[in-house]
Amino acid sequence: MKTVFVLLVAVVSHSAARYSPDWKSLDGRPLPPWYDEAKLGIFIHWGVFSVPAFQSEWFWWHWQGQQPPDPKCVSFMTDNYPPGFSYPEFARHFHAEFFSPGEWADIFKASGAKSLHYGLYNSLYEWFHPLYLNDKKNGFRTQDFVKQKLLPELYNMVVRYRPELIWSDGDWEAPDSYWNSAEFLAWLYNDSPVKDTVVTNDRWGAGCACKHGGYYNCQDKYSPGQLPEHKWEKCTSVDTLSWGYRRNMRIMELMDLPTIIEDLVSTVALGGNYLLNVGPTADGMIPAVFEERLRGVGAWLQVNGEAIYASKPWRVQMENTTVPVWYTSKGSSIYAIVTAAPPTTTLNLLTPKTSAATEVILLGSPSSLPWAPLYPNAGLAVLLPELPCVPGGAWTLRLDGVS
């Protein structure tokens, strides 16, 4: 089972409501406000799969589960390990000898996760567990795996570790009634030690994604394309081909920093949270290229975080004139985030309605910028200075006195 940490900024919320074990009641629970305010999380996939570190964290399944097996995984084992070598034998090589919680925390803090609050990943199903396979054989009319393995672990995980976020996964082969999801969530929201602050996703049984649970992530790397009504999350990975560490990853297979920043900005502008994954090595190191990406995100947020943290979607989320511009809002301020360098020193913003009090400030610069009305009823042309070189290649204009 994979252990995954989610680092977010937390603000405590309290609720006296009680929820019954049905989706109508559970779906009515408001999300604790800290989650929407945080915007950014760090996902970690780290486990025995980090020892072979080949292809992805699904290596065991691709090697011995799927039919036919993946020939690349079969060849990898044939070429590098003795006959009869079993996947559990990788565990003795999971030493984590260089693992330093303090160093990890420093990297995550530098990424823009201002305070350390963690969540836990939990896969509901287990590929090769005999109790699960027997329940599956019985058409999920029996629940031996759920009652003897899954639920005891879930309750213990919450009571012992008190996560503020539970990232459920591996639900899609069986309905939520098999997993006893509604009963567990009712206990989690009503009586658990984290009942006031815990947040969950939507992976609680076949058909639940994008429909039931806490926030929606719908599917891996999901983007709605427009502003949805329900709080959502985009989970994605710096390594575009894997969530776990791969020893044979190539630089062209990784998200570069400008791509990550634009992904973060567009997600937040559309009301989402951004969950960015990196995969540590079996010896406990976060690869330097992943650390560089995380610190780059944090450096960009040091200047532009005002437009991200605790922001809200604006009435218009995006416009594209000569360059893409994404909008967020906070209080009376509107933020226009430009994710590519404009071709000229004049940037036209078509949507904001100006007033006599309108002021435009480039975040990170001390003085306001000159501007002129663009149309009688809306829009402004902003005269840009020489744009500073910033990590991620995106700049933010704060617009005060506009509507």
Total domain count, the chain: 2
pLDDT of residue 396: 98
Mean pLDDT of 50-56: 98
pLDDT at residue 14 is higher than 80: no
pLDDT of residue 12: 36
pLDDT of residue 185: 98
How far apart (Å, rounded) are the C-alpha atoms in residues 219 and 74?
28
31-56 CB burial, b ≥16 within 10 A, e <16? ebebbbbbbbbbbbbbbbbbbbbbbb
Examine residue 65 and state whether it is found in any structural domain, yes or no: no
pLDDT at residue 182 is higher than 60: yes
Q: What is the mean pLDDT of the chain?
A: 95
Domain boundary among 263, 280, 306: 306
Based on the domain organization, do 243 and 174 belong to the same domain?
A: yes
Phi-psi region of 345 (alpha: psi -120 to 50; beta: other; left: phi over 0): alpha
Tokens of 116: 């350390």
Domain boundary among 306, 339, 366: 306
The secondary element (H helix, E strand) that includes residue 397 is strand 395-400
pLDDT at residue 362 is higher than 50: yes
pLDDT band at 328 (very low <50, low <70, confident <90, very high): very high
Based on the domain organization, do 228 and 329 belong to the same domain?
A: no
How far apart (Å, rounded) are the C-alpha atoms in residues 304 and 317?
17
pLDDT of residue 4: 42
pLDDT of residue 113: 87
pLDDT of residue 17: 85
pLDDT digits (tens, 9 = 90+) for 81-97: 999 999 999 999 999 99
Domain boundary among 306, 330, 356: 306
Instruction: Find out whether 179 and 166 touch, Cβ atoms under 8 Å.
Output: no
Instruction: Find out whether 203 and 209 touch, Cβ atoms under 8 Å.
Output: yes
